[in-house]
Structure 1
Amino acid sequence: MADIATRVYNHNWKIDPIIRSLIDTDFYKLLMCQSVFRNKPDTRVEFSLINRTKSIRLAELVDEGELREQLDHIRSLSLSRGESTWLRGNTFYGKRQMFRPDFMEWFENLRLPPYELSVRDGQYELSFEGAWPEVMLWEIPALSVLMELRSKAVLRDMGRFELQVLYARAMTKLWEKVERLRAIDTLRLADFGTRRRHSFLWQDWCVQAMTEGLGDKFAGTSNCLIAMRREVEAIGTNAHELPMVYSALADTDAELADAPYRVLADWHEEHDGNLRIILPDTYGTKVFLDRAPDWLTSWTGIRIDSGDPAEGAERAIAWWRARGEDPTEKLVIFSDGLDVEKIETLSAQFAGRVRVSFGWGTLLTNDFRGLVPDDGLAPFSLVCKAVRANDRPTVKLSDNPNKAMGPAAEIERYKRVFGLGAQTAQPVVV
């Protein structure tokens, strides 16, 4: 197990580059990338960094030269033979050869495309443009780099013993959470914390702690590199990116209304009926379920990623019942702003009513709240989203209007097309 404090104190990024591999990314990105590679390979997209926490002025904390050095390092990476063998030959979700030979051949020869970086009003403007299958793989490493460089900036002047104490306190804080979670008999929980982690070494430590502390209750990690090295399950399905881009490509209102279902039809075909988890909130969960075709009711479950989580789960249960399905055989995955208290509450509320799983993100891999002066390591909300597709803007409405994104006129059009009514704003935790 790495001595994290010593590694941080030594500041040797040649030993500890922030991104160590092209598979130091979330599993769902590779699954989505294969689907895009097959169905929309020529689509041109632009991804941009969006800092929702304006009070964190990243360009004043993170040195631009250091940021460029890390981003350039990522562009030099390619799959190793061992990584390729793992992706080609491993069993994921009970399926051998999840990744097709043509996709793997492309991925083995991939280098990530160029980036554009500038500074405006104390914030970095970081964007990536090009073919969708290539550009989409920038999202997770870009976020991980900026989050870790911010951590390094705060820790840079700390002494060796100060760092040792800091990480000891952080480890204790996490272990106390693990001890509470052990008491939940039906718990099934996975690490979803790559994109806004404190650091790679810390996420790796968290996965090891969860593996030992929770045993079979720990389902695995979204991080492919850690899953490979620690021999745990790689966890993930799909994300908002797919319906956002498909919707931007729609030529008519009718095609726009159908786009979220077209995504899932392509997904079903891509994975031969595996990985059948619905993410319904891109343009409003209620509208999505009300209009959903009957073939979606047989899918395995739903991921709740915005809005009130209990309300979203209740809505899913009511939908399954109305469509003649047994909710106790379905899966609800909670994945938005989770911490121990919310996991305990939701587990108790839905025990016996539906199968429940949790994708625990930032407050697993980056909960250093209260551990340094002025709370300088508190996590914040940083995202990297597809903002354009074939020169058209993308839109996300979400079940939480505080997470909506896109030009105002397009947001209003999408609200009209999807029939989105009044919404209740929720705090964006991370």
Structure 2
Amino acid sequence: MVDIASRVWNHKWKIDPIVRSLIDTDFYKLLMCQSVFRNKPETQVTFSLINRSKHIPLADLIDEGELREQLDHIRSLSLSRGESTWLRGNTFYGKRQMFRPDFMEWFENLRLPPYHLERKGDQYELTFEGSWPEVMLWEIPALAVLMELRSRAVLDRMGRFELQVLYARGMTRVWEKIEALREIPDLSIADFGTRRRHSFLWQDWCVQAMQEGLGDAFTGTSNCKIAMSREVEAIGTNAHELPMVYAALAKDDAALAQAPYDVLQDWHDEHEGNLRIILPDTYGTKGFLDNAPDWLAGWTGIRVDSGDPAVAAQTAIDWWKSRGEDPSEKRVIFSDGLDVAKIKELHRQFAGKVKASFGWGTLLTNDFRGLVPDDALAPFSLVCKAVKANGSPTVKLSDNPNKAMGPQSEIDRYKRVFGVGDQAAQKVIV
């Protein structure tokens, strides 16, 4: 096991590129990339970095030259033979050859496209433009780079013993959380913490701690490289990106209203079983479910990623019942801003009603709150989203208006088309 504190002190990170591999990314990005490669390969998109936590002056904290160096390194990466063999030959979600030969041939020859970086005040404007299958693979590594460079900027000011104590305290905190989670009967939990992790080495340590501390209750990690090296399941299905781009491509209001279901029809044609998980909140969960075709009720489950998670889960339960389905046979994956207390509360509330499971993200892989002066390592909300598709702006409404994005005129249009009324604002934790 790597001594992270000594690694930080002895080498000042120079031997540790932040992103080590093209599969140092979330599994759902690769699943979605294959779907896009199959269905929308010519679509042109723009992704952009969005710092929701404006009080974190990234351009003041992170040296532009170092940021460019890390991004340039990512552009030099390609799949190794071992990584390609793992993707081609491994069983994912019970399915052999999850990734098709034509997709794998394309992926094996891929180098990520250019980026555009510019300083704007105390923030960076970082954008990626090009064909959708290529550009979408920038999202996770770009976030990982910005998050870790911010961590390094803070750690670089610390002494050797400070670093040892910091990581000892951080490890103790993670282990205490794991001990608390052991009290939950029939727990099912996975690591979803790649995009806003403290560092790669720290995420890898957290996964190993979860493996040892939780045993079979730990179902895997979203990070493909760590899943491969630690021999655990790669976990993930699909994300808001798909309906956001499909919706932006819609020619009129009728096509817009249909776009989220077109996404899942394409997914339905390609996947089955536990990969058939609905993410309903892109344009409001209730409206999505009320207007959903009957065949979607037969899917395996639903992921709750915004708004009040208890309300969203109960909405799903009521919907399944109205469509003649047994909610106790359905899976609900909670994945928004989770920590131990919320996991315990939701498990207690929904155990027996559904198959509750948890995708634990930032507060697993980046919880150093209160451990350094001025809380300088506290996690913050950074995203990298598709903002244009074939020249049209994308929109996300969410079940939390604080997570909405897009031009206000388009947000108003989408709310009208999808019948989204007043929403209860929730604090964006991470």
Give the shorter-chain TM-score range: over 0.9
Q: Deviations over 1:1-33 (max 9, x none)?
A: 001001111235452110000000000000000
* Partner SS, residue 328 of structure 1: helix
Aligned to 1:198: 198
Q: Aligned equivalents of 1:313 and 1:168: distance in 2?
A: 37
Q: Deviations over 1:19-51 (max 9, x none)?
A: 000000000000000000000000000000000
Residue 136, structure 1, aligned to residue 136, structure 2:
yes
Aligned to 1:329: 329
Residue 216, structure 1, aligned to residue 216, structure 2:
yes
What is the root-mean-square deviation in Å for CA atoms of aligned residues? 0.8
Q: Deviations over 1:339-378 (max 9, x none)?
A: 0000000000011111000000000000000000000000
Q: CA deviation at 1:162?
A: 1.0
TM-score, with length taken from structure 2: 0.99
Aligned to 2:383: 383
C-alpha contact 1:192 1:361 (8 A) present in aligned 2: yes
Residue 251, structure 1, aligned to residue 256, structure 2:
no
Q: Deviations over 1:30-74 (max 9, x none)?
A: 000000000000000000000000000000000000000000000
Mapping of residues 4-403 of structure 1, within 5 Å: 4-271=4-271, 275-403=275-403
Residue 423, structure 1, aligned to residue 423, structure 2:
yes
Q: Aligned equivalents of 1:15 and 1:278: distance in 2?
A: 41
Q: CA deviation at 1:284?
A: 0.1
- The one-letter code matched in structure 2 to 1:391 is G
User: Kindly tell me: are residues 159 and 115 of structure 1, through their superposed partners in 2, closer, same or farther at Cα, counting changes over 3 Å?
Assistant: same
- The one-letter code matched in structure 1 to 2:213 is G
Q: Aligned equivalents of 2:420 and 2:173: distance in 1?
A: 41
Q: Aligned equivalents of 1:93 and 1:41: distance in 2?
A: 25
Q: Aligned equivalents of 1:274 and 1:297: distance in 2?
A: 14
* Partner SS, residue 386 of structure 1: strand
Q: Deviations over 1:259-285 (max 9, x none)?
A: 000000001112256610000000000
Q: Which moved more, 1:58-67 or 1:10-19?
A: 10-19
Identity of aligned residues (%): 81
Q: Aligned equivalents of 1:271 and 1:316: distance in 2?
A: 21
C-alpha contact 2:12 2:156 (8 A) present in aligned 1: no
Q: CA deviation at 1:141?
A: 0.2
* Partner SS, residue 425 of structure 1: coil
Q: CA deviation at 1:181?
A: 0.1
- The one-letter code matched in structure 2 to 1:289 is L
Q: Deviations over 1:68-98 (max 9, x none)?
A: 0000000000000000000000000000000
- The one-letter code matched in structure 2 to 1:332 is V
Q: CA deviation at 1:158?
A: 1.1
Mapping of residues 404-423 of structure 1, within 5 Å: 404-423=404-423
Q: CA deviation at 1:186?
A: 1.6
Q: Aligned equivalents of 2:92 and 2:165: distance in 1?
A: 39
Q: Aligned equivalents of 2:14 and 2:148: distance in 1?
A: 15
Could you list the runs of 5+ residues in structure 1 that have no partner in the other structure? Answer: none
- The one-letter code matched in structure 1 to 2:267 is W
Q: Which moved more, 1:314-323 or 1:4-13?
A: 4-13
Q: Aligned equivalents of 1:37 and 1:284: distance in 2?
A: 27
Q: Aligned equivalents of 1:29 and 1:403: distance in 2?
A: 20
* Partner SS, residue 346 of structure 1: helix
Q: Which moved more, 1:272-281 or 1:310-319?
A: 272-281
* Partner SS, residue 175 of structure 2: helix
C-alpha contact 2:240 2:282 (8 A) present in aligned 1: yes
Q: Aligned equivalents of 1:50 and 1:14: distance in 2?
A: 27
Q: Aligned equivalents of 1:225 and 1:378: distance in 2?
A: 25
- The one-letter code matched in structure 1 to 2:91 is T
- The one-letter code matched in structure 1 to 2:50 is I
Q: Aligned equivalents of 1:297 and 1:272: distance in 2?
A: 13
- The one-letter code matched in structure 2 to 1:371 is L
Q: Aligned equivalents of 2:272 and 2:147: distance in 1?
A: 36
Q: Which moved more, 1:264-273 or 1:59-68?
A: 264-273
Q: Aligned equivalents of 1:177 and 1:273: distance in 2?
A: 31
C-alpha contact 1:268 1:274 (8 A) present in aligned 2: no
Could you list the runs of 5+ residues in structure 2 that have no partner in the other structure? Answer: none
Q: Aligned equivalents of 1:253 and 1:322: distance in 2?
A: 27
Q: Aligned equivalents of 2:235 and 2:140: distance in 1?
A: 15
* Partner SS, residue 275 of structure 2: coil
